Structure 1
Amino acid sequence: MNDMSVIRITQEQKLDRPQSGSGMDRVVARRGIPLNLRIAVAGVAAILVLAAIWWLMPRTGSQTIAADRVKISTVSRGTFEDFIPLRARVTPLVTVYLDAIEGGRVEKVLVEDGATVAAGQPIAMLSNAELQLSVLARQTEVTQQLNTMRSQELALAQSRVTNERTLLEAETDRRKAERQHDREAALIGRGFVSKRQFADTQDDRDYQRRRVAVLRNGQATDERLQASQLAQLRSAAQSLESSLTLARANLDALNLRAPVAGGLSGFSIQVGQSLSRGERIGQIDSPGRNKLVAGIDEFYLGRVQVNQAAVLERGGKTFRARVTKIYPQVQNGQFTVDLQFIGPEPADLQRGQTLQARLTLGDPAPALLVPNGAFYGETGGNWIFVATPEGTSAVKRPVRMGRRNSEVIEVLEGLEAGERVITSPYTGFADKDRLDLTR
């Protein structure tokens, strides 16, 4: 009992004693991060930040662009058809312009604009009093000159007749003198003719001979001079006749006529209107015969040749044409060619109508092809942007391109089949070497 009391007192004493807590708390030692490790971590973080900034910053020679702003096409192998599309304008094959040869006042208009006329058909009548008086005066002058020349021709003819008559008389006198000389020569030996008489007869015979010789020489000289003079007179007469014919033609030109058959257009003169010499009054187009006039990019100037074939479709039918003339003058980046139909042409063609045609430049051939696009106008076919397989970027690459048509371009060097290239315009980034394509 006493022991138990002692124990209770002891526990109570322990309970009454203040608790210090030293028996329950434990001192924990603090452990810090090493300084070297902290420096290394900070350096790596700084490098990562700088790398991210460098990656996000636009680099020199590159540009970021949305992928949907560009057109990406695939390089493929196929058959290159060497042609170019043409936008051709229908023009009459033959056009004859009508000008007023002589000016005057319009008295009558015989046909209407748009009518079909025959060659030589009168279309209008003019009057010109001054021209008419001038032609009449010219005709009178020419007639007087012709009459004078004919009088000179008559005088020359009469002179020739006179010379021939004189020569005939001289020939007759010579023959008489020779016969008289022959008779007296037979009688002088018999004494029937005196020597004096015979000497006179000889002198007369010699005189007649010389006279005939002189007249013949003179007649030959006159013939040459007269022939030359007659030739000059006849030439002058022809010139005067031509002048008179021209004057009459000028007067007849007041009656306007259609020089060829065809459709009359641009003919809008009115009665009472005054026309000056050489004024354009209309034109006549060849009926049912047309040609095509087309403008072609100057890039093809060295490849287009006369007689190259062209094809056009109209109304479900195919029509053929050929190049007949090339105009090498370049205007606004184009030159012009004329094409003429081979065989029949469409029946419903109208002047000024526009048709689509294809001009063949060469035979089809297998080739590496890239779709034609606006990029060619900025690169000239010397380089192109090639997209990576992932499509996240595109890099400028030098290439060599050859022939092209409206659909594809022939690739000679620098690309492989299956590669993808940007064929849309390069406006705004043509000077870059790399494109970053964002989705």
Structure 2
Amino acid sequence: MDVAIQKKTWTRTRLLLLATAVLVAVVVVVSRMAAAGTAKLNVDPERLTISAVTRGEFQEFVPVDGAVMPIKTIYLDAPEGGTVQRILVEDGATLTAGQPIIQLANTDLQLEMVNRETAVFDLMNNLHNTRNLLQQNRIQQLNQLADIDYQLREARRVYELNRTLYEQKVISQQEFLQTQNNYRFQQRRQQLTRQSLRQDSLSMGQQIGQMQQSVGRMQSNLALMRRKLDDLTIKAPAAGRITSLNAEIGELKTRGQRIGELDMLTGLKVRATLDQYYISRIFAGQKAEVTLNDKRYELRVTKIFPQVSRGLQVDLEFNGPTPPDIRRGQSLPVRLALSDPTQAVRVPRGGFNQKTGGNWIFKVSEDGTKAYRADIRLGRQNPEYYEVLAGLKPGDRVVTSSYEGYETMGELLLKAKAD
């Protein structure tokens, strides 16, 4: 019986062809790399930016735009609802503490105030009448006790007299027992009356105390209501400048509605928003600076907002005097330091890094006729310089402009065009 012979996929011929193709590709790549290393190009020096490598102060910083704000802002909300009756100040006016700003009107609140005052007066009248009735009752009980004391003394006198006469056999036993029983009755009567008087005194004290507490609570509520009426006049809680005043005559304001802002006049701060990339490198007390009219002003980070939405928001305050003539809402260019200043070899920033990745650069020869590739290693950077860790030294000159079209060149011949 015939047996089917399977055809091999990878024959010796195919393997030889594949190896030849790979070898050719490697040769092409190597040749191109060699050509790139030796390729030369004539370039007009005026089309290039040639910068000097220097050694000097280097500091990482991030430039941000900050907005000038008052160092503290108090938000003014309506503590009670009402209709705007009068506007007593203009937007932007400087106010003193307690100065009225807006007068609201609320008839429901005023009517409730009248009702509570009437209730307090009624309760105070009831307390006065009750106190008078209790005093009259106590006077009657005291008169009754005085009469009982008199009757007890008289009964004791008769009892003692009859006891002597009975011992002398002058009166009968029946008569003596009657006087004795009357004396004991008056004693018991006096005890019960005194006990009743004490209980009535305690009850009267408790009743009057409860009514006085009720009056006190109602008076406290009345005082609270008066404060609510006073809140219809919105006043400045502190000295400052009123801004964003939002009120019109006849407008209805609800409780808690924002009517304006009060900026403290104690100083100004700068609020800036940074990229989230720097979130781990920002901390309270971090230094920054702003330059105005060729003068530097130092700042420090005083607050870092925990919410990160469109960026990391921070507040900065001036370490020394505030720059003159800056205003709320003004934009300032701030340099926020990310490190302490150190001495380092540095090269100006430029477009070269986009093509080289910071691994090499065109270094200009001493005679200035050409620029050749030089391997370098860059470290930190700021908007002005790159830190050079290796490959360059102070005094070297390098091409820092864009290398677009030059990335495959090994050497640039710097020749100016003839006129």
Distance (whole Å) between structure 1 residues aligned to residue 409 and residue 121 of structure 2: 101
SS at match of 1:194: helix
Distance (whole Å) between structure 2 residues aligned to residue 52 and residue 249 of structure 1: 93
Question: Match of 1:341?
Answer: 318
Q: Note closer, same or farther for the CA distance 1:238–1:76 as it changes in structure 2 (3 Å cut).
A: same
Q: Note closer, same or farther for the CA distance 1:347–1:187 as it changes in structure 2 (3 Å cut).
A: same
Q: Note closer, same or farther for the CA distance 1:341–1:407 as it changes in structure 2 (3 Å cut).
A: same
How far residue 197 of structure 1 moved from its aligned partner, in angstroms, is 1.3
- Given the alignment of the two structures, is residue 354 of structure 1 paired with residue 354 of structure 2, yes or no? no
Q: Note closer, same or farther for the CA distance 1:66–1:87 as it changes in structure 2 (3 Å cut).
A: farther
SS at match of 1:329: coil
Which shifted more, 368-377 or 346-355?
368-377
- Given the alignment of the two structures, is residue 199 of structure 1 paired with residue 181 of structure 2, yes or no? yes
Structure 1: tracts of 5 or more residues without a match:
1-48
Question: Match of 1:91?
Answer: 69
Question: Match of 1:223?
Answer: 205
Distance (whole Å) between structure 2 residues aligned to residue 308 and residue 317 of structure 1: 20
Q: Please say which structure displays the higher CA radius of gyration.
A: 1
How far residue 72 of structure 1 moved from its aligned partner, in angstroms, is 9.3
Distance (whole Å) between structure 2 residues aligned to residue 67 and residue 180 of structure 1: 147
Distance (whole Å) between structure 1 residues aligned to residue 374 and residue 269 of structure 2: 48
Distance (whole Å) between structure 2 residues aligned to residue 298 and residue 174 of structure 1: 95
- Given the alignment of the two structures, is residue 364 of structure 1 paired with residue 341 of structure 2, yes or no? yes
SS at match of 1:352: coil
The answer to whether the Cα contact below 8 Å between 2:162 and 2:179 also exists between their aligned partners in 1 is no
Question: Match of 2:251?
Answer: 274
How far residue 258 of structure 1 moved from its aligned partner, in angstroms, is 4.5
Q: Note closer, same or farther for the CA distance 1:344–1:174 as it changes in structure 2 (3 Å cut).
A: farther
Distance (whole Å) between structure 1 residues aligned to residue 333 and residue 297 of structure 2: 11
1:278-317 correspondence to structure 2 within 5 Å = 280-287=258-265, 289-317=267-295
SS at match of 2:280: coil
Which shifted more, 303-312 or 74-83?
74-83
Q: Note closer, same or farther for the CA distance 1:187–1:268 as it changes in structure 2 (3 Å cut).
A: closer
Question: Match of 2:384?
Answer: 407
SS at match of 1:348: coil
Q: Note closer, same or farther for the CA distance 1:186–1:268 as it changes in structure 2 (3 Å cut).
A: closer
Question: Match of 2:10?
Answer: none
How far residue 348 of structure 1 moved from its aligned partner, in angstroms, is 0.7
Instruction: State the superposition RMSD in angstroms.
Output: 4.7
Distance (whole Å) between structure 2 residues aligned to residue 347 and residue 167 of structure 1: 85
1:36-435 correspondence to structure 2 within 5 Å = 79-99=57-77, 101-104=80-83, 109-123=87-101, 131-132=106-107, 134-169=108-143, 171-173=145-147, 175-180=149-154, 182-191=156-165, 194-246=176-228, 248-249=229-230, 252-253=232-233, 257-267=235-245, 274-277=251-254, 280-287=258-265, 289-332=267-310, 334-366=311-343, 384-387=358-361, 401=379, 404-408=381-385, 415=390, 418=393
SS at match of 1:292: strand
How far residue 345 of structure 1 moved from its aligned partner, in angstroms, is 1.4
The answer to whether the Cα contact below 8 Å between 2:82 and 2:253 also exists between their aligned partners in 1 is yes
Distance (whole Å) between structure 2 residues aligned to residue 375 and residue 220 of structure 1: 100
Q: Note closer, same or farther for the CA distance 1:297–1:426 as it changes in structure 2 (3 Å cut).
A: farther
How far residue 209 of structure 1 moved from its aligned partner, in angstroms, is 0.8
Structure 2: tracts of 5 or more residues without a match:
1-23, 167-174, 366-370, 413-419
Distance (whole Å) between structure 2 residues aligned to residue 117 and residue 325 of structure 1: 27
The answer to whether the Cα contact below 8 Å between 1:163 and 1:219 also exists between their aligned partners in 2 is no
For residues 133-181 of structure 1, what are the alpha-carbon distances to aligned partners after superposition, in whole Å with 9 as ceiling and x for unaligned? x244323321321122113312432344245325533543454355335
How far residue 221 of structure 1 moved from its aligned partner, in angstroms, is 3.9
The answer to whether the Cα contact below 8 Å between 1:117 and 1:262 also exists between their aligned partners in 2 is yes
Q: Note closer, same or farther for the CA distance 1:375–1:194 as it changes in structure 2 (3 Å cut).
A: farther
SS at match of 1:89: strand
The answer to whether the Cα contact below 8 Å between 1:118 and 1:262 also exists between their aligned partners in 2 is yes
The answer to whether the Cα contact below 8 Å between 1:309 and 1:359 also exists between their aligned partners in 2 is yes
Q: Note closer, same or farther for the CA distance 1:243–1:385 as it changes in structure 2 (3 Å cut).
A: same
How far residue 236 of structure 1 moved from its aligned partner, in angstroms, is 2.9
TM-score by length of 2: 0.66
Distance (whole Å) between structure 2 residues aligned to residue 189 and residue 50 of structure 1: 153
How far residue 326 of structure 1 moved from its aligned partner, in angstroms, is 1.1
Distance (whole Å) between structure 2 residues aligned to residue 148 and residue 191 of structure 1: 64
How far residue 205 of structure 1 moved from its aligned partner, in angstroms, is 0.8
Distance (whole Å) between structure 2 residues aligned to residue 376 and residue 225 of structure 1: 92
Question: Match of 2:12?
Answer: none
The answer to whether the Cα contact below 8 Å between 1:394 and 1:435 also exists between their aligned partners in 2 is no
The answer to whether the Cα contact below 8 Å between 2:159 and 2:179 also exists between their aligned partners in 1 is no
Question: Match of 2:416?
Answer: none
Q: Note closer, same or farther for the CA distance 1:234–1:376 as it changes in structure 2 (3 Å cut).
A: farther
Distance (whole Å) between structure 2 residues aligned to residue 194 and residue 377 of structure 1: 135
SS at match of 2:329: coil
Distance (whole Å) between structure 1 residues aligned to residue 141 and residue 401 of structure 2: 106
SS at match of 1:321: strand
- Tell me which amino acid in the other structure corresponds to 2:142: L
Distance (whole Å) between structure 2 residues aligned to residue 312 and residue 72 of structure 1: 29
Distance (whole Å) between structure 2 residues aligned to residue 229 and residue 281 of structure 1: 43
The answer to whether the Cα contact below 8 Å between 2:96 and 2:239 also exists between their aligned partners in 1 is yes
